[in-house]
Amino acid sequence: MTTDARGERMQYRVAIREAIAEAMREDERVFLMGEDVGRYGGCFAVTLGLLEQFGPERIRDTPLSELAFVGAGIGAALGGMRPIVEVMTGNFSLLALDQIVNNAATLSHMSGGQFAVPLVIRMATGGGLQLAAQHSHSFEGWYAHIPGIKVLAPATVEDARGMLRPALADPNPVLIFEHIRLYSMMEAAPNGPVSVDVHSATVRRGGRDVSLITYGGSLHKAMEAGEALAAEGIEAEVVDLRVLRPLDTATIIDSVRRTHRAVVVDEGWRSGGISAEVSARIMEHAFYELDAPVQRVAAAEVPIPYPAHLEGAALPSVAGIVECARRLVRGDTGNG
Amino acid sequence: MTTDARGERMQYRVAIREAIAEAMREDERVFLMGEDVGRYGGCFAVTLGLLEQFGPERIRDTPLSELAFVGAGIGAALGGMRPIVEVMTGNFSLLALDQIVNNAATLSHMSGGQFAVPLVIRMATGGGLQLAAQHSHSFEGWYAHIPGIKVLAPATVEDARGMLRPALADPNPVLIFEHIRLYSMMEAAPNGPVSVDVHSATVRRGGRDVSLITYGGSLHKAMEAGEALAAEGIEAEVVDLRVLRPLDTATIIDSVRRTHRAVVVDEGWRSGGISAEVSARIMEHAFYELDAPVQRVAAAEVPIPYPAHLEGAALPSVAGIVECARRLVRGDTGNG
Amino acid sequence: MSARALERDRALHLLREMLRIRRFEEKCAELYSAEQIRGFLHLYVGEEAVAVGVMQALEPDDAVVATYREHGHALSRGIPSGPLMAEMFGRAEGVSGGRGGSMHIFDARTRFYGGNAIVAGGIPLAVGLALADRMQGRARITACFFGEGAVAEGAFYESLNLAALWDLPVLFCCENNLYAMGTHVALSHSETDIALKTTAFRMPAWAVDGMDVLAVAEHARRAAAVVRGEGGPAFLEFRTYRFRAHSMYDAERYRERGEVQQWRERDPLVTFPALLRERGLLDDATLDEVEAEVQRELDEAVAFAQAGTLEPVEHLSRYVYMDERVAEGPS
Amino acid sequence: MSARALERDRALHLLREMLRIRRFEEKCAELYSAEQIRGFLHLYVGEEAVAVGVMQALEPDDAVVATYREHGHALSRGIPSGPLMAEMFGRAEGVSGGRGGSMHIFDARTRFYGGNAIVAGGIPLAVGLALADRMQGRARITACFFGEGAVAEGAFYESLNLAALWDLPVLFCCENNLYAMGTHVALSHSETDIALKTTAFRMPAWAVDGMDVLAVAEHARRAAAVVRGEGGPAFLEFRTYRFRAHSMYDAERYRERGEVQQWRERDPLVTFPALLRERGLLDDATLDEVEAEVQRELDEAVAFAQAGTLEPVEHLSRYVYMDERVAEGPS
Ligand SMILES: Cc1ncc(C[n+]2csc(CCOP(=O)(O)OP(=O)(O)O)c2C)c(N)n1
Ligand SMILES: Cc1ncc(C[n+]2csc(CCOP(=O)(O)OP(=O)(O)O)c2C)c(N)n1
Ligand SMILES: [Mg+2]
Ligand SMILES: [Mg+2]
C-alpha cells in the first residue's frame, strides 16, 4: 500500500519499535515510559527488546497510574526531556484525560507562549480482537476535538515507522493512535532514519466516482471496498486522513471536487465522531460540488460486545462500505 | 422565553434547587453528593439551604475525589439508590470520565441487561465569567458521543426546574449540563411537581428564512440574534436542542425543511463539536432541502483565555451569529 | 452431625470449590487454544484459596465486585458453571448474555457486579454499593477484589478514603500475587507492604497467607464480622501467586521459572489435600469422587456452552439504554 | 557583617516578603471590588509564612509548581510585582501575557510552572520536572505546593508513589489550612493527620507550624537538603489557616467567626514582628520604612498594570500550538 517505501517488509509493531529505538539512539532526551513497556515487552509486544538495549532508566516500566505518569510525561517535557508515554489502550487513557486536556493542551497558550510541551503519547485503539466493552473503543476522533494537541493515526507500516520522528520534533503534545488490528500487519517500510509528512492526508487509491474518507484501521477496509467496487465498475478514491488534528481539509475537499460524492468511514461511534466533522467540513467547503449527501459508515452506537458476530456487526465492514458507496453512486440515499 | 410557564419568576439556580428538594421529598432513595454541596452551599450556590433541610446523609459533602465519588454514585445506583452527583464543572469531570464512560455507560449493555444505572450527574459548563483555561470549557457535546448515557442541557428556568424529575426516573445515567451564565437568569417557572419532556428539541422562535440551532447558554444569544435579524427583515427560527443525546433529529430536520438554511451555534470548540454532528445529520436527512450549506458558529479553537476581550472573541457572540445568518440568507457563504 | 463430620464436610467443600475453579480454568485454557474462547483470558490458577476462602464469609445478600480475573470468584460465589462457560463462548445463554466474555461476568441473582476490566475500576462501585446499603440501613457488605497492581491507581486511594470516611461496609480484598502483568510489586510500589497503605486512611488491615484456604477463610470471617458489625470497612491483603501467564498473550519474560516452581510447592490444591490426608479427612477414594463430581459438572458446563446459541445481530442495540426499570435482583 | 546584622537582615527580609504578599493581596481584593480584577481570585492572607519560608530553601535553578492560590508563591519566588499585577488585570504585560489571570501565573525565568486551577493537577507535573532533572543528572529540586483538600485526589497518591519509587527530587509542600473551599479536613479525610499519608509510600515527612516563618524556613531548608542530597522526595505538612474567604464568591457559612479570630492571633504578620521587636531586631521606624518600601513597590505595580495594554484579539490563537522550539528558560 505504501507508495515509495523501498525497504524490507516488516510488521507494523516492529516499525514502531524501530522508530522508538532510532529516536532513543539519536537523542538522549528521548525516553519511553508506560505500563509493561520494559520487562513484559509491551502489552502488544511493540517494545520487545528495548529494555535490553536502553536499560530501565530510559525504558521505564510504570505502576498502574495513568494520570500521574502521563502528567509526569508533561512535566518531563517541560523539564527538557522528550518523553514518549505509552498508554495501553484508548479506554484506559480516559484516566489520564485531565492531564492531557487541562494541562498538556493548555500550558503553552495560557502561559502566553512561555512553555512548550514536546510530548508524544502513544496508545492502542480500536476493536476487532473481541476484547469487549472496556478495551475496544476508538477515542482518537474525540481527542481530535481538543485544541493544543495534535492527533496522528498511522495506517501503514511506513507511517508507523515515520511518524514518530516528526512527532518528537514537534514542540506540542502529539498523540499517536495505533490500531490493534494493524500491529501484526506486514508491509514494506523505508530504511534508515525516516520522517514522513505529518500535516497532510493522502490519497491511497485514485478514483472518480466516490471518495472513501477514512484513517487507521478502517483504511484497509476502505481499500478492500475500493477493490470490490471497482469490480462493479465504481471507481472509488480512498483518502487516508492520517492526521486527525489538525485535519487536512484541502485534501478532503480536493477529492470531493473530483468525485462529487463521499463516504466517511470511521471506527468511532457515529454521533459526534470524527466522521461528523469531516461531513461538516465538506458541507462548508464543497456543498455546491456535491451530487449527493455525504454518508457515514461508523461504529454502531453500542459498547463493543465480546462475541465475534456482534462485534463484527458493531464495526464498519467492507460489505457495509461497499453497499453505502454503491447506493450513493446509484443515487439512492433515501434522503428526502 | 418559556411558553407555558405560569408560576412565579425565579432564578435558574433556584429552579434547580427546588427540583432537587422536590425529588428528595418525594423519594427517599434520592440523595445529592458532591464537593461543597452542603456546608458551603454549592460552588454556584445552587444547593444553598438543602443541607439544613435534608441533613448531611442526604446532602453529602465529598472529598476532592471526582473519580471515586462519581464511581460511588454508579455503585449506589446499582444498589438501589437514586443519586444525584454534582461535579463542579465540566473541566473537572474529566477526572471522572473513566467511571462515566467505562462503567456507567457500559454496565447495562455488557451485563446483558441485568443492571440499570439510574444515576443523574449534574455539572456546570461553559464560559463567560473569565474563569480561564481550566474552568470554562463546554464538554457536553463531547459527552454526547457516548452510547449508554443521556445528555440534557436546560437553557430555560422551566427546563432547569423540570428536567430533573424525568432524569431521575430514567433507568439510565443522565448528565445535566448547567451553563454558568444562566444560574442568575430570572424567568417564570412552573409551580409544583413538574416534569418536562426530555426527548425532544423545541422551537423557541418561529421563522422561515434560516434555522438557528443551538442549546444551553447559546440559546439566549441565538434569541437575541433572532431579534436583531428580524429588524433586518430576516426571520430566524430558533431551535433549542435541549437533549444532546439522543439528538432529536426530527425537530432539526422539520425546521430545516421550513427554512432551507441553518446555522448551528455551539459554545463547544468547533472541530468535532456537537455542531458538526448537527451539520452531518442535516446533510444526511435534508440535503436536498438545503438552499445553502449549513454553517457553524462555535467557540474558537483555543483554551479559553482570562481577559474579557479575548474570552469574548473566543465564544460565540450575537453579532457573530447575526453576521453568519445574514451572509447565509443573502447567499454569500464563500463556498466554492 | 458430629464436630468431626462437620469439619470434614467443610474441608471437602473448600477443596471441591478450589478444584472446581482449577479444572474449569484448565479447560478454558484448552478451549482458548481450540479458539472456542477468544479475547483476553486471565486465569486464576494458584490463587483459588483466596476467592474460595473469602466467599465463605459472605451471605447470599452481600455483593461482590471483582476484576477481569474473576472466574474463581464467580464460581465460588455460586454462579452456575454452565452459564459461566457459555459466557466464555459468547453465547446468549451466558451469564451476561454472552456480551461480556471472560472479563465481564455479571450476575444479578448473586449480586455479582463484574467482572471489571479497568484496573481498579470496580473499587469505586463497591464503595457506592456499600453506601447504598448504609443509607438504606441494611446489614449487607460488599466484598471488593483487586490486585496489588491496582493499588497504584488513584481510584484505589480515593475509594479507601471515602469508605473509611463514611464508615461503609466494604471488605477490601487485595490479591497480592506479586505481579501486575509483568511488573513486580517492587516496581509498582515504593512501599511494598501493601497492608500498610491503609495507615493513610485509618482502616484496619491484615495480611494473610493467600495460599492457605483455612487462613483466608478465618481472616475473612473475622474481617467480615467487623465490617458487618460496625459498618466500617476493613482491608485484607492476601499474599498469593499466579502460576500461569498473566493472560494467554504473555511470554512471561519477567520472572524466573524457579520462582514459579517455588510457589507451586505452596499450591493450595497440593497443600490442602495433603493437610486433609494428614488429619485423616481425605483418602484416595474421596478425592477421586470429588474429582469425578467436578469433572461431571465441567463436562455439563462445556456441553451447555457448546449447545448455546448466538444472540441475534438484531439485538445489538438492546440494553444500550434500559427501557424500563429492570428488576434489581435481590438488591 | 556581624552575625547579629545577618540575623537582622534575614529577619527583615522574611518580614518584608510576607508583607509584600499581604499588601499585594489586600490591594487585589480592593481591585476586585472595583472590577479591575475578575474571574476567580483566591487570597493567601494568613498563609504567607509558608511560601516565604519555603522559598528561602530554593536555588534559582529549582522549579516551583503551585495552585490557583499562588500570588504569595509567585512574589516570594521573585516574579516582579508589576507583571504579576498586570496578569491579574489581564494585560499583555502580565507575566503570562495576561491570558491566565490570578489562577495561572507562569514564569519561565524563575521556573514557575503555574498556577494550576485543577486541584492536585500540578502534582504530576512536579514529578515529571523532577524526573527530567534526575535523568539529566542535575542537582535541582522541584517544590510542589498544594492544599490538604488536594490530598484526597488520586493524582496526589499516584504522584507520591512515583516520586518515592523513582527517588525523585520533589519537595512536597502541603498547605493544610483546614478547609477545602467549605469542607473541613475532617470531612475530607478519614485520617486527618496528613503527614501520615506518606507512610503508604515510605517517604519522609514532617509536620510544621505554618504560621511560624522561621520554623517553615528551617524545616524547608533541612528537607530541601535531603531532597537535593539523596535525590529522593520529602514531604512537609504546614499547619496554617486562611483568614479570608476561599475566593471572592464565598460567604463562609462553614466556619465560625471565633475560629477565624483565634487563628488571627497567630497571624505571622503580627507574631513575627512582635518576635523581632522582642529580640530587638525591629522598631517602629524600621517597620514604617519596610511598609513604605512595600507600598512603593505596590503602587508601582498597580500603575504598571493599569498602564498595561490589551493583547490584540487577532493574537487569540497564538501559542495554541508552538510553532518553533521556544527558549526553555533556565531549564
Ligand atoms: C486502567 C488499566 N490500565 C491497564 C490495564 C491493563 N492491565 C490489565 S491487568 C493489568 C495488571 C493488573 O495487575 P494486578 O492489579 O496486580 O492484578 P492481577 O492481574 O495480578 O490479578 C494491567 C496492567 C487495564 N486493564 N486497566
Ligand atoms: C479537580 C478540581 N475539583 C474541584 C475544584 C474546585 N476547587 C477549587 S479550590 C478547591 C478547594 C481546594 O482545597 P485545598 O486543596 O485544601 O486548597 P486551598 O484552597 O485550601 O488552598 C476546590 C474544591 C477544582 N478547582 N479542581
Ligand atoms: Mg497482581
Ligand atoms: Mg485547604
Mean of pLDDT values over D302-324: 95
Q: What is the pLDDT of residue A1?
A: 41
Q: Give the C-alpha separation, C54 to A114, whole Å.
A: 55
Residue B4 has pLDDT above 60, yes or no: no
Contact yes or no for C165 and D188 at CB 8 A: yes
How remote is the CA of residue D175 from the centroid of ligand 4, in Å? Answer: 7
How remote is the CA of residue D245 from the centroid of ligand 4, in Å? Answer: 11
Q: Which residues of A touch B91 (CB under 8 A)?
A: 101-102
Q: With bands split at pLDDT 50, 70 and 90, how would you rate the model's confidence at D331?
A: very low
Determine phi and psi for B60, rounding to 5 degrees.
Answer: -105, 110
Q: Answer with the residue of higher pLDDT: A190 or C29.
A: C29
CB burial of B99-135 (b: ≥16 within 10 Å; e: otherwise) equals bbbbbbbbbbbbbbbbbbbbbbbbbbbbbbbbbbbbb
Determine phi and psi for D204, rounding to 5 degrees.
Answer: -65, 140
Q: Give the C-alpha separation, A157 to A1, whole Å.
A: 9
For residue D133, CA distances in Å to D77, D140, D326 come to: 19, 6, 19
Residue with cell string 467511571: B99
CB burial of C95-112 (b: ≥16 within 10 Å; e: otherwise) equals bbbbbbbbbbbbbbebbb
Q: What is the pLDDT of residue A7?
A: 78
Read off the pLDDT of residues D129-156 as tens digits, 9 standing for 90 and up. Answer: 999 999 999 999 999 999 999 999 999 9
Which of B37, B64, B67, B97, when mutated, tests ligand 2's pocket best, judged by the most ligand atoms within 8 Å of its CB?
B64
Cell of B334: 464563500
Strands (E), chain D: 63-67, 106-107, 112-116, 142-147, 170-176, 179-180, 183-184, 205-209, 234-239
Name the 3-class secondary structure at B44: coil
Dihedral of the CA atoms B141, B144, B149, B154 (nearest 10)?
A: 50
Q: What is the pLDDT of residue C324?
A: 54
> Strand pairing of D63-67 and D142-147?
parallel
Q: What is the pLDDT of residue B151?
A: 98
Give the residue from B57, B134, B317 with the most D CB atoms within 10 Å of its CB, the best one to mutate.
Answer: B134
Q: Which residues contact D262 (CB under 8 A, 6 or more apart)?
A: none
Contact yes or no for B112 and C123 at CB 8 A: no
Read off the pLDDT of residues D73-132 as tens digits, 9 standing for 90 and up. Answer: 999 999 999 999 999 999 999 999 999 999 999 999 999 999 999 999 999 999 999 999
Ligand nearest to the CA of D42: 2
Q: What is the pLDDT of residue A309?
A: 98
| Ligand 1 proximity of C181 Cβ (cutoff 6 Å) | yes
What are chain A's partners, defined as 3 or more CB pairs within 8 angstroms? B, C, D
Which ligand 1 atom is nearest residue A36's CA? Answer: 23
Q: What is the pLDDT of residue B335?
A: 57
Interface residues of chain D, partner chain B, Cβ below 8 Å: 38-40, 90-91, 98-101, 103-104, 116-121, 149-150, 152-155, 180-184, 187-189, 246, 249-251, 253-254, 310-311, 313, 316-317, 320
Question: Nearest by CB to C253, which of A35, A39, A313?
Answer: A39
Ligand nearest to the CA of B69: 2
Q: What is the pLDDT of residue A3?
A: 42
Distance from CA of B95 to the nearest CA of A (A): 6
| Full pLDDT tens readout for chain C, 331 residues | 799 999 999 999 999 999 999 999 999 999 999 999 999 999 999 999 999 999 999 999 999 999 999 999 999 999 999 999 999 999 999 999 999 999 999 999 999 999 999 999 999 999 999 999 999 999 999 999 999 999 999 999 999 999 999 999 999 999 999 999 999 999 999 999 999 999 999 999 999 999 999 999 999 999 999 999 877 999 999 999 999 999 988 999 999 999 999 999 999 999 999 999 999 999 999 999 999 999 999 999 999 999 999 999 999 999 999 985 444 443 4
Q: Give the C-alpha separation, D200 to C197, whole Å.
A: 4
Mean of pLDDT values over D231-246: 96
Q: Give the C-alpha separation, B145 to A142, whole Å.
A: 8
Q: With bands split at pLDDT 50, 70 and 90, how would you rate the model's confidence at B334?
A: low
Q: Which residues of D touch A114 (CB under 8 A)?
A: 96-97, 106-108, 326, 329
- Is the ipTM reported for this complex over the cut 0.95? yes
Residue C190 half-sphere exposure, CB side, CA atoms within 13 Å? 21
| Amino acid at the residue A175 | L
Which of D25, D43, D119, when mutated, tests ligand 2's pocket best, judged by the most ligand atoms within 8 Å of its CB?
D119
Residue B141 touches chain A, beta carbons under 8 Å? yes
User: DSSP states of C5-36 as a string?
Assistant: HHHHHHHHHHHHHHHHHHHHHHHHHHHHHTTS
Residue C157 touches chain D, beta carbons under 8 Å? yes
Read off the pLDDT of residues B209-258 as tens digits, 9 standing for 90 and up. Answer: 999 999 999 999 999 999 999 999 999 999 999 999 999 999 999 999 99
Percent residues over pLDDT 70 in chain D: 98
Residue with cell string 461480556: C100
Contact yes or no for D158 and C164 at CB 8 A: no
Q: Give the C-alpha separation, D234 to D205, whole Å.
A: 6
Residue A283 touches chain B, beta carbons under 8 Å? yes
Residue A6 has pLDDT above 70, yes or no: no
User: DSSP states of A253-290 as a string?
Assistant: HHHHHHHS-EEEEEEEESTTSHHHHHHHHHHHHHGGG-
Mean of pLDDT values over A320-336: 86
Residue with cell string 436536498: B288
B334 CB-contact burial (10 Å; exposed 0-12 / middle 13-18 / buried 19+): exposed
Q: What is the pLDDT of residue B194?
A: 85
Which ligand 2 atom is nearest residue B92's CA? Answer: 1
Strands (E), C124-264: 142-147, 170-176, 179-180, 183-184, 205-209, 234-239
Read off the pLDDT of residues B61-71 as tens digits, 9 standing for 90 and up. Answer: 999 999 999 99
Is A135 an active-site residue?
yes
Residue of B nearest to D119 (CA): B64
Contact yes or no for A116 and D326 at CB 8 A: yes
Name the 3-class secondary structure at C188: helix
Residue D161 touches chain C, beta carbons under 8 Å? yes
Q: What is the pLDDT of residue D206?
A: 98
Q: Give the C-alpha separation, A273 to A283, whole Å.
A: 16
Contact by Cβ (8 Å): B194, B16 = no
Q: With bands split at pLDDT 50, 70 and 90, how would you rate the model's confidence at D216?
A: very high
Q: Which residues contact B242 (CB under 8 A, 6 or more apart)?
A: B152, B153, B154, B155, B159, B198, B200, B201, B202, B215, B248
Q: What is the pLDDT of residue A334?
A: 61
For residue B194, CA distances in Å to A111, B82, B97, C193 come to: 47, 18, 30, 55
What number of other Cβ atoms are within 10 A of residue C293's Cβ? 13
Contact by Cβ (8 Å): B120, B167 = yes
